[in-house]
Amino acid sequence: MTSPSPLPVTAPLPPVLALIGNTPLLSLHFPELQRTIYAKAEFLNPSGSIKDRLALTLLSDARARGLLRPDSIILECTSGNTGIALAMVGSVLGYRVQILMSEKASVERRHLMHHFGAELILFKADRGYVTGIEISEEMAARDSRYFLPRQFENPLNAQDHVDHTGPEILRQTDGRVDAFVNGYGTGGTLNGVSRALRAACPGVCIVAMEPSEAAMLSGEAPCCHSIEGIAGGFLPPLIRGVPIDRREKVSSEEALAMTQRLAREFGLLVGTSSGANVVASLRVARDLGPDARVVTILCDRAERYYSTRLFGDVKPH
Ligand SMILES: Cc1ncc(COP(=O)(O)O)c(C=O)c1O
């Protein structure tokens, strides 16, 4: 592979990076419930998910602070949207990107990361996510070229939503939000958006959505679920700073059905966590009344879930 050469910190950013953030807030009306909810279209970010924001912020900060050198290699353990986003943003900035992931990670994700130019390092599925983190730490200890963004601990993960996603929502709602509903993977979005909204609207109800099968905030043991990208089997450190007022459990079946409905009735090609967010938002909107402004997130695009239950067998008529 040819050695990439990073863009100088003073050079203008590649145009694709200007497409990150400032996503529309869509109003989705559900006539049978006489409720409208407001959904931030994060799937429109250029690599297809809300994690483009994080990748751009973390890498820009590391470049500004001199933590990324011309020979640096960006290394993160993630099989999901963060890997795809780091692969895209890191590559266009001219860095080598290596993504550590379980060999069970879906083939679509592997293809997307590889397509954006990242190198993939697979580890045995039976050794779990913690193993991947350990491997990345060992690699970084042996080779000083490695730069680890560490999305689960990095305070910029939440801060970016305090600085950008939250204020965008406030502008798009004329500063009136009655509830914010979201699941948690790292907890960065829930943490940052909640803090920004609470500062502007003290009465806003903060709702944490989690899979019924892995309702750890409700004290239950985690089990298998089909809402990919959230509830990874442990409570992430960033969730501790969230002022949670209400928890909503959504089953995988409910999430899958709503995600399919979002495609068929609203034309929205989004992933299963988006469907789960909408299910939970509708429950909150039902309780708060028809005039309540309930805001949620459509986190990512559907195409990365072809091999999952979201896309069953396609039978010809
Ligand atoms: C599909 C999907 N939904 C939701 C989330 C949750 O975002 P956060 O990590 O900010 O909690 C993620 C995180 O990767 C995700 O991939």
Instruction: Select from 165, 273, 278, 310 the residue to mutate for testing ligand 1; criterion: most ligand atoms less than 8 Å from CB.
Output: 273
Q: List all residues whose CB is within 6 A of at least one atom of ligand 1.
A: 51, 80-82, 183-190, 229-230, 271, 273, 299-300
Please tell me the distance from the alpha carbon of residue 199 to that of residue 203, in angstroms, as a whole number.
9
Which of 72, 212, 273, 281 is catalytic? The answer is: 273
Number of the ligand 1 atom closest to the C-alpha atom of 187: 11
For the CA of 82, the nearest atom of ligand 1: 14
> Which one is catalytic: 51, 91, 249, 252?
51
The pTM is what? 0.95
Residue 78 CA to ligand 1 center (angstroms) comes to 11
Report which protein residue has its CA nearest ligand 1's atom 1. Answer: 229
* pLDDT per residue of the chain (317 residues) written in tens, 0 to 9: 555 689 999 999 999 999 999 999 999 999 999 999 999 999 999 999 999 999 999 999 999 999 999 999 999 998 789 999 999 999 999 999 999 988 878 899 999 999 999 999 998 866 656 678 889 999 999 999 999 999 989 999 999 999 999 999 999 999 999 999 999 999 999 999 999 999 999 999 999 999 999 889 988 888 888 888 888 778 899 998 899 999 999 999 999 999 999 999 999 999 999 999 999 999 999 999 999 999 999 999 999 999 889 998 676 76
Alpha helices in 100-228 (DSSP H): 107-115, 128-142, 156-160, 166-172, 188-200
Residue 267 half-sphere exposure, CB side, CA atoms within 13 Å?
Answer: 2
Domains, the chain, ranges and CATH?
15-44+165-305 (3.40.50.1100), 51-147 (3.40.50.1100)
> Which ligand 1 atom minimizes the distance to the CA of 271?
1
Q: List the Cα angle 39/203/41 in 5-degree steps.
A: 10
